A = this chain, B = another copy of it.
Amino acid sequence: MSQSLFERHKDTLDRAVNASRTREYWTAYPESPSPRVYGEEANKDGEAAFKAYLNKNFEIDQPGTIGTAGSEKSPYGFDLGITYPKVDVAVLVTEVEALRQGWAKASIEQRAGICLEILHRINKRSFEMAFAVMHTTGQAFMMAFQAGGPHAQDRGLEAVVYAYEDMVRTPAVARWEKPQGKRDPIVMEKHFTVVPRGIGLVIGCSTFPTWNSYPGLFASLVTGNAVIVKPHPGGILPLAITVEICRDVLKEEGFNPNIVTLAVDSADAPLAKDLALRPEVKLIDFTGSTGFGNWLEDNARQALVYTEKAGVNCVIIDSTDNFRGMIGNLSFTLSLYSGQMCTTPQNIFIPEGGIETEDGHKSFDEVVAALATGVEKLNGDDARACAILGAIQSEATLARLEKYGAGDNVVLASRSVPMEGFENATIRTPLILKATDESSYAAELFGPISYVVASKNTADSLEIVENSVKNNGAISFGIYSTSEDILDSAEDVACRSGVAVSFNLTGGVYVNQTAAFSDFHATGCNPAANAALSDTAYVSNRYRVVQSRKHI
C-alpha cells in the first residue's frame, strides 16, 4: 500500500532531487492561487473550512489528553475561539516512545511515500491553510497563501529530498568478497539499517508556523523519528491542520497515527522546556528568540538542536545605475508583512558622503529621503497597503513600534492603516529611524523598524556588516554597487561572516525572499541559525546506520 504512495509520488521526488542538485528554478506546488490551478471553488471552500474551525474544539485523539487549551487571536481583530487537546507531557512522551518502533522499522520508501502524500494533501488544502495562516500570523492573504502554503510545502519536500538521498546512499544489503590469494575469498553479507534517533520535537513560531516548521517536521519524520509538534500559542491552527493530515495518512497506511502528535500550550503555562528536556526527545527544531534558542542549545543536551534565532540583517548602498529600481525594491522589502520576517533588513548603510547614481551624485540625505518617500508612497493607498503589510502579529511588536516611534530620530513615522471589513486589524506602515550610534542598531528590533546608518564610506560599511554578522547574526544581506570590486569584497565579507548575499536587487526578487531548491535559507555559520534549510547537514544526523554482517 505504502509502496504505491512511493510510486505515485516518485516523479515529484526525482524532479525535486534534480532541482536541489542543479539549483535551477523548480517548484512542486504552484504558488499561484489561481482558480485554474486549484479549482474554481478552492477559495470559497478554503474559507468555509477555516470558518468551520472557529469557536469549536479541534479534536485529536492522541495520548495524554487532559482538557483543552488555546486562545488564538487573529491580528485582523477577532478571537478564533478554537481549543485543542491539552497534553500531559510525561504521558504523551512515554506513550510515543513506546509505540514509535513501528515507524522506525518502516522502509525508507514507505516513509518517503507517506511524507510525499502528506505534502500532496496539504497542498490540496492550501486555501484552508492560507486562511489559517492569515488569521494567526497576520500575513496578508496572498502571502499567507504562498509562504504558508506552496512555499512551505516546497521547503518540506526539500527536507525529504535531502534525507532520502542520504539514506539511500547506503545500500540495504551488500555482498563483501575479500580475495585471499589462492584460497577461497572471504564472503560476507552485510545489512545496513537506517535507525532513527527517537522523538523529534518541532517548536513553531508565530509568524511562519508552517514555513519554519515543515523542514524539521519532514526531516525528522522521513528518517523514522516520531514527531511532537509544539506550536507557538499564537499560531496553532496551521500546525493542527498539518498534524491532522499527517495522522490521517499514517493511519490509512497502517501506522499508528500517534507517530505525529500536537502539544498545545499557552504563554501562561508553556510546555517547551518540559518537552525539550525529556530524555526520549533526541531532535529539536526551533524557530524563535535567541534567548530560548540558546537555552535549548545549552540545556537540551540529550538532543541535537537545530535553531533559527534572531539576527540583524543589513543592506549596503554603495552606488547604483538604477536608483528608482533600488528604492522601489527596498521599499517593498521593508513593507512586506510589516518587516516581520527573519530576512527583513534592519540596518541600511549609506556613505555619509552620498552615492553615485545614473542621475549623478545623491547626498546621504537625498537617499534617505527617497527611501522614506518610496515606503510612504507604496503604502499610500490603504487597500494596497493592507495587501502588502498584513497585520502586526504580536503585542510586543506593536509596543516596540510605539516606543521607537517616539524618539527624535524618526525619518519616516509609522501610521495605522484602516482595513475594510476588519476594523480592529493592527496594520502599521514601516518606521524608519536614523541611527545615532552603533549600540542603537546592533540588536534585532523585530517588526517594521529599520535604521539608516551613515558610514564613513563603503569599506566602512563592509567592515561594520562583517562584524555585525559575526556577532549579531544575519540571514540576509544585500548590497547595491556598480563596482565589481566592491561586489567581490562583499562576497568575501559574506563568505567570512557566513551570510547569503544578494547583489543589486531592483526588480521582482527581494532580499528577504528565498526560493526552495535553489536558495538556502540561513547558512548555519553565524549566530542567527545553526543550520541551513535544507542541506545534507540538516538531515544526515537525524538517523544513524546500524549494520549486521555474517559469512555466506
- In the complex formed, the residue of B with least CB distance to A171 is B23
**Residues in chain B near residue A537, CB distance under 8 A:** 537, 540-541, 544
Number of interface residues of A (CB under 8 A): 67
A102 to B540, CA, bound (A): 29
Which residues of A (146-180) have their CB < 8 Å from a CB of B?
166, 169-171, 174-180
Contact with B along A512-537 (1 / 0, CB 8 A): 00010011100111000000100111
A178 to B518, CA, bound (A): 11
Contact A176 B518 (CB under 8 A): yes
Which residues of A (457-503) have their CB < 8 Å from a CB of B?
487, 491, 494-496, 498-503
Secondary structure of the A side of the interface? mixed
Contact A175 B536 (CB under 8 A): no
Contact A24 B174 (CB under 8 A): yes
Contact B191 A519 (CB under 8 A): no
**Residues in chain B near residue A186, CB distance under 8 A:** 507-509
Query: Contacts A518-B174, A545-B535, A546-B500 hold; do A169 and B23 have CB atoms under 8 A apart?
Result: no
Contact A545 B532 (CB under 8 A): yes
With an 8 A cutoff between CB atoms, is A549 at the interface? Answer: yes
Contact B546 A535 (CB under 8 A): no
Query: Contacts A525-B544, A544-B524 hold; do A519 and B549 have CB atoms under 8 A apart?
Result: yes
With an 8 A cutoff between CB atoms, is A547 at the interface? Answer: yes
**Residues in chain B near residue A191, CB distance under 8 A:** 491
Contact A548 B501 (CB under 8 A): yes
**Residues in chain B near residue A535, CB distance under 8 A:** 170, 540, 545
A13 to chain B, nearest CB (A): 16
Which residues of A (64-120) have their CB < 8 Å from a CB of B?
101, 104
Contact B193 A22 (CB under 8 A): no
Contact A549 B22 (CB under 8 A): no
**Residues in chain B near residue A135, CB distance under 8 A:** none
- In the complex formed, the residue of B with least CB distance to A194 is B495
Contact with B along A180-213 (1 / 0, CB 8 A): 1000001010111101010000000000000000
A6 to B62, CA, bound (A): 56
- In the complex formed, the residue of B with least CB distance to A536 is B540
A499 to chain B, nearest CB (A): 7
Contact B23 A178 (CB under 8 A): no
**Residues in chain B near residue A540, CB distance under 8 A:** 535-537, 540
With an 8 A cutoff between CB atoms, is A295 at the interface? Answer: no
A535 to B505, CA, bound (A): 39
A108 to B432, CA, bound (A): 43
Contact A495 B23 (CB under 8 A): no
Query: Contacts A22-B174, A23-B170, A498-B195 hold; do A508 and B180 have CB atoms under 8 A apart?
Result: yes
Contact B190 A23 (CB under 8 A): yes
Contact A502 B176 (CB under 8 A): no
**Residues in chain B near residue A547, CB distance under 8 A:** 500-501, 519-520
**Residues in chain B near residue A403, CB distance under 8 A:** none
**Residues in chain B near residue A104, CB distance under 8 A:** 495
Contact B195 A546 (CB under 8 A): no
**Residues in chain B near residue A193, CB distance under 8 A:** 491, 495
A520 to B487, CA, bound (A): 44
**Residues in chain B near residue A524, CB distance under 8 A:** 541, 544
**Residues in chain B near residue A544, CB distance under 8 A:** 498, 523-525, 532, 537
**Residues in chain B near residue A171, CB distance under 8 A:** 21-23
A171 to B170, CA, bound (A): 23
A176 to B515, CA, bound (A): 10
- Give the contacting residue for A504; candidates B190, B520, B523, B551; CB below 8 A: B551
**Residues in chain B near residue A532, CB distance under 8 A:** 544-545
**Residues in chain B near residue A518, CB distance under 8 A:** 174, 176, 190
A114 to B384, CA, bound (A): 58
**Residues in chain B near residue A195, CB distance under 8 A:** 495-496, 498, 523, 525
By a beta-carbon cutoff of 8 Å, the part of chain A in contact with chain B is 21-25, 101, 104, 166, 169-171, 174-180, 186, 188, 190-193, 195, 197, 297-298, 301, 487, 491, 494-496, 498-509, 515, 518-520, 523-525, 532, 535-537, 540-541, 544-551
The 10 tightest CB contacts between A and B, nearest first, are A503-B550, A23-B174, A537-B540, A536-B540, A525-B544, A537-B541, A501-B548, A25-B178, A523-B544, A500-B547
